[in-house]
Structure 1
Amino acid sequence: MFNFDFYNPTRILFGEDRLGSIDQLVPADAKVLITYGGGSAKKYGTVDKVRNALGDRIVHEFGGIEPNPHYETLVRAAEIVRREQIDFLLAIGGGSVIDGTKFITLAASYDGDALDLLKYGFSPIGLDVIGHTVPFGAVLTLPATGSEMNSGGVISYGQGKYPVFSELAFPKFSILDPTLTYTLPKIQVANGVVDAFVHTTEQYLTYPVEGRIQDRISEGILQTLIEIGETTIAEPENYDARANLVWSATLALNGLICAGVPQDWAAHMIGHELTALYGIDHGQTLAVILPSLLEVRREQKRAKLLQYADRVWRITEGSEDDRINSAIQKTRGFFESLGVKTRLSDYNIGADKIPEIIEQLKTHGMTALSETHDLTLDISQEILERAL
C-alpha cells in the first residue's frame, strides 16, 4: 500500500427529514446564497423548504446552473457573492450544482482572473493562491458524483471540461435525504448508478498494491450497485434501494477507497470529451468507454480483473481469459440492464468522429493517461474504435 494523507471534514446528515438541521448548521447571522440548477429544486418545493429552515436569515437565490456547469454562469454567481457580501452558500442539486458552487466560492475569493483557476488540473489550488473562501453546504438531490463529500469539481469552458480541486472546496455539511431523489427521471438515476460504479472501478481496477481494505470497500460498493441498480430505477420510492444508491455514490468518491492505491481515470478523461463535443450525458459516456477500455487494457489490469471477476461477479470457472471476458461482458450487460447504451453508434457517433475526439484529448493534454501513465493517444483511439 502506498503512503497517503486522508482528510475529509464534511459532516454528513443522512436520512429522511433532515432539512431542519440547516438552522443549526448555518450561522445565525449569515447572509445566504442558495444555488440550484434547472428548476426542479423549485418545482418540487426543495428551495422553499430550505428557505423555511433558514428562518429569518437574509437569503438570495441563484438558479440556472447547467449540467456540466459553465464557467460563464458561475462567475456571474461569484460576482453576486462579492457584491452582496454573502457569508454562506447552500447548493441544492446534484454534482453539477455542487461542483459549480465549489467554483463559485473559489472564484469569489480569488483576487485575479477566475479563469486562472481552471489551469491547475488535478493539482489542488492551495491557500497560497486563495487565502479563504465563503463556506458552503449542500442538499443532495441527485446521487452520482460524490461531490457532496469531496473537494473537487469539473467545470465546462469552451469545448473543454476542467477539473478543479482545493481543500477549501469541501462542503461544511451535506444533507443526504434519499426521499429528495424520488422525483428524478429514470435516465438520471441510471446515469447516477453508472457514474458511481465507474468512479469505483477507476480506483479499483488498476494493479494490486495490497490495499486490502480499499479493495473490499470497493467490491462492496460495486456489489451493492449491482444489487439495487435495476430496483431503484423501477421502484423510485423504494427507500432502502435509493438509500443504498445515495450512500454508495458518496462513498465511491469521498477519498476513502483511493487512499494508498493507484488510480486510473482514463475512462473519465475520454468520456469528458464526448460530453464536451456531443452533449452526451456523463454517465452515458462512461458506460460506452469503460467496457472497451477494459478490453484494450486487459493485460495491464489482468490481476485486478481476475479479482473483480471472482469477488464482484462470482466468476470462478474457466481460463483466466474466459473469466476476464465474462466479467467485462457482465459489466456491459449491467449498464444496458439499467437502460444505458454502451456503444458510440447508439449516439450516432461513427468512426469519422474519432479523429476529432483524439484531437481534443491532445489539446487538453490527455496524452499519457491511466494508472501507469502509458495510455497514449493511439491507445485512446483503439478504445474508441472498440466502442463503436
Structure 2
Amino acid sequence: MFSFDYYNPTHISFGKGKIAELDNLVAKDAKVLILFGGNSAKSTGTLDEVKTALGQRKVVEFGGIEPNPTYETLMQAVSIIKEQDIDFLLAVGGGSVIDGTKFVAAAALFEGEPWDILLSWGTKVTKAMPFGSVLTLPATGSEMNSASVVTRKEYQAKLSFMSNHVYPKFSVLDPSKTFTLPERQVANGVVDAFIHITEQYLTYPVNAAVQDRFAEGLLQTLIELGPKALSEPNDFDVRANLMWVATLALNGLIGRGVPQDWATHMIGHELTALYNIDHARTIAIVLPGMLDCRREGKQAKLLQYAERVWGITDGSVDDIIDAAIAKTRAFFETMGIQTRLTDYGLDASSINQVMAQLEAHGMTALGEKKDVDLAMSRKILERNL
C-alpha cells in the first residue's frame, strides 16, 4: 500500500427529514444563495422545504444549473454573489449542482480569470466561500469530496479541478428525496458510482486489502440493489443504501494508498462535451473497451474482480477476463444504459472529433501508468463502436 494523507471535513446529516437540520447547520445571520438545477427542486417541494428550514435567514435563489454545469451559467451566480453580498452558498440537487457550487465558491473569491481555476486543475485556488449541500440525486459523490467538473460551451471543453478549499461544510442526505427521480437518473447514478469505484480499484495490486475489499463490497451492493431501485422505486432501504454507496464511492476512502486510473472519465468527458450525452452513459460506453484493450496491464486486478465481484473462476485467463467484461456491460444494460457509440448515433467519424479534443486538452498520457496515449484512446473507442 502507498503512503497517504486523508482529509475529509464534510459533516454528513443522513436520514429522512434531515433537511430540517439546516437550521442548525447554517449560521443564523447568513445571507444564503440557494443554487439548484431545473424545475424539479420546486415541483417536488424540496426547495420550499429547504427555505422553511432556513427560517428568517435572507435567501436568494439561483436556478438553471445544467446537468453538465457550464462556466457561462456559473459566472452569472458569481455576479449575484458580488452584487448582493452573499456569504453562504447552499446547493440543492445532484452532483452537477454541487460541482457547479464548488466552482462558484472558488470563483467568487478568485483573484484573476476564474477559468484559470480549471486550467490549473485547482492548484491556484487559495480560498473559497463556505457552502453546504442538500443531495437529491446520488451519483457523483460530490457531496463529500473536493472535486468538480465544469463545461465551457464556447470551447466544448469539460475540465475538472480539485481543492481542499471546496469541501462542503455539510451535506444533507435524505433518501426519500430520491423517490421522485426518473428511472433514467436513477440508472445513471448507479452506473456513475460503479465506474467511480472501478477507476480506483481496477488498476494494479499494491497489497491494499482494506481498500480492495471495501471497493468490492460497494460494487456488489450496486449490482444487487441497482435493479431493485428500478423495480421497487419506493423502497426506502434500497434508496438509502444506494445513496450511501454513491457517497462512499468517491469520498476518498477507497482511493487512498492505491493507484487510480480515471482514463475512462477523461475520454467520457469529451464525449459529453461534444455530443451532450449523459456523463454516466459516456463512461459506460468507454469502460468495457478500456478494460479489454488494457487487459495485460490490469490482468491481476481484472482476475480478482472477476472472482470476488462476479464469482467467475473457470476458464483461461482470457476467458475469465472476457466474462468479467461481458458481465459488466450486461449490468449497465440491465440498468437501461446502452454501451455502444452506435447506440447514440455516433460512428467512426465521431472518434476523430474526440481524438482532436483529447489532444487539444492535453489528454495524451492517461491512466494509472500514463500509458493511454492517443492511439490507445482511439483503439478503446473503436472497440466500443
What TM-score, normalized to structure 1? 0.97
Q: Which amino acid aligns with 2:52?
A: N
Find out whether 1:125 has 2:89 as its counterpart.
no
Q: Which amino acid aligns with 1:153?
A: S
Matching residue of 1:159: 156
List per-residue Cα deviations over 1:233-274 (Å, max 9, x = no partner): 122111111111101100000011110100000110111111
Correspondence 1:62-141 to 2 at 5 A: 62-121=62-121, 124-125=122-123, 129-130=125-126, 132-141=127-136
Q: Which amino acid aligns with 1:125?
A: T
Which of 136, 145, 148 in structure 2 is aligned with 1:150?
A: 145
> CA–CA distance in 2 between the matches of 1:16 and 1:97?
21
List per-residue Cα deviations over 1:8-59 (Å, max 9, x = no partner): 0000111111011100010011111100001100111111100000010000
Aligned residues: 383
List per-residue Cα deviations over 1:279-321 (Å, max 9, x = no partner): 1100111111101110100001000000000100011222221
Task: Give the 3-state SS of the residue equivalent to 1:254 in structure 2.
Answer: coil
Matching residue of 1:194: 191
> CA–CA distance in 2 between the matches of 1:258 and 1:180?
28
Task: Give the 3-state SS of the residue equivalent to 1:163 in structure 2.
Answer: strand
How much has 1:133 moved relative to structure 2? Answer: 2.3
Task: Give the 3-state SS of the residue equivalent to 1:109 in structure 2.
Answer: coil
Which of 339, 348, 351 in structure 1 is aligned with 2:348?
A: 351
Matching residue of 2:230: 233
Q: Which amino acid aligns with 1:281?
A: D
Which of 315, 318, 330 in structure 2 is aligned with 1:321?
A: 318
Q: Which amino acid aligns with 1:364?
A: H
Q: Which amino acid aligns with 1:74?
A: L
Q: Residues 86 and 134 of structure 1 are in contact (CA less than 8 Å); yes or no, is this contact kept in structure 2?
A: no
> CA–CA distance in 1 between the matches of 2:131 and 2:378?
40
How much has 1:186 moved relative to structure 2? Answer: 0.4
Q: Which amino acid aligns with 1:95?
A: G
Task: Give the 3-state SS of the residue equivalent to 2:310 in structure 1.
Answer: coil
Matching residue of 2:35: 35
> CA–CA distance in 1 between the matches of 2:40 and 2:291?
36
List per-residue Cα deviations over 1:182-205 (Å, max 9, x = no partner): 111101110111100000000000
Find out whether 1:265 has 2:225 as its counterpart.
no
How much has 1:327 moved relative to structure 2? Answer: 0.5
Find out whether 1:61 has 2:61 as its counterpart.
yes
List per-residue Cα deviations over 1:90-124 (Å, max 9, x = no partner): 10000100000001110111121212212112xx4
Matching residue of 2:382: 385
Task: Give the 3-state SS of the residue equivalent to 2:2 in structure 1.
Answer: coil
List per-residue Cα deviations over 1:150-180 (Å, max 9, x = no partner): 0010000120111011111000000111110
Q: Which amino acid aligns with 2:164?
A: E
Which of 240, 249, 253 in structure 1 is aligned with 2:250?
A: 253
Q: Which amino acid aligns with 2:144?
A: M
How much has 1:85 moved relative to structure 2? Answer: 1.2
Q: Which amino acid aligns with 1:57?
A: R
Find out whether 1:213 has 2:210 as its counterpart.
yes
Residue segments in structure 1 that go unaligned for 5+ positions in a row: none
Matching residue of 1:175: 172
Aligned alpha-carbon RMSD (Å): 0.9
> CA–CA distance in 1 between the matches of 2:226 and 2:39?
26
Please identify runs of 4+ aligned residues in structure 1 that moved more than 3 A.
Answer: none
Residue segments in structure 2 that go unaligned for 5+ positions in a row: none
> CA–CA distance in 1 between the matches of 2:83 and 2:234?
41
Task: Give the 3-state SS of the residue equivalent to 1:156 in structure 2.
Answer: strand
> CA–CA distance in 2 between the matches of 1:59 and 1:28?
12
Deviation larger for 161-170 or 300-309: 161-170
> CA–CA distance in 2 between the matches of 1:380 and 1:19?
43
Correspondence 1:236-315 to 2 at 5 A: 236-315=233-312
What TM-score, normalized to structure 2? 0.98
> CA–CA distance in 1 between the matches of 2:245 and 2:313?
26
How much has 1:125 moved relative to structure 2? Answer: 3.0
> CA–CA distance in 2 between the matches of 1:180 and 1:98?
16
> CA–CA distance in 2 between the matches of 1:179 and 1:125?
37
Q: Residues 91 and 98 of structure 1 are in contact (CA less than 8 Å); yes or no, is this contact kept in structure 2?
A: yes
Identity %: 61
> CA–CA distance in 2 between the matches of 1:278 and 1:235?
32
Task: Give the 3-state SS of the residue equivalent to 1:277 in structure 2.
Answer: helix
Q: Which amino acid aligns with 1:326?
A: A
Q: Which amino acid aligns with 2:35?
A: T
Q: Which amino acid aligns with 1:329?
A: A
Q: Residues 15 and 178 of structure 1 are in contact (CA less than 8 Å); yes or no, is this contact kept in structure 2?
A: yes
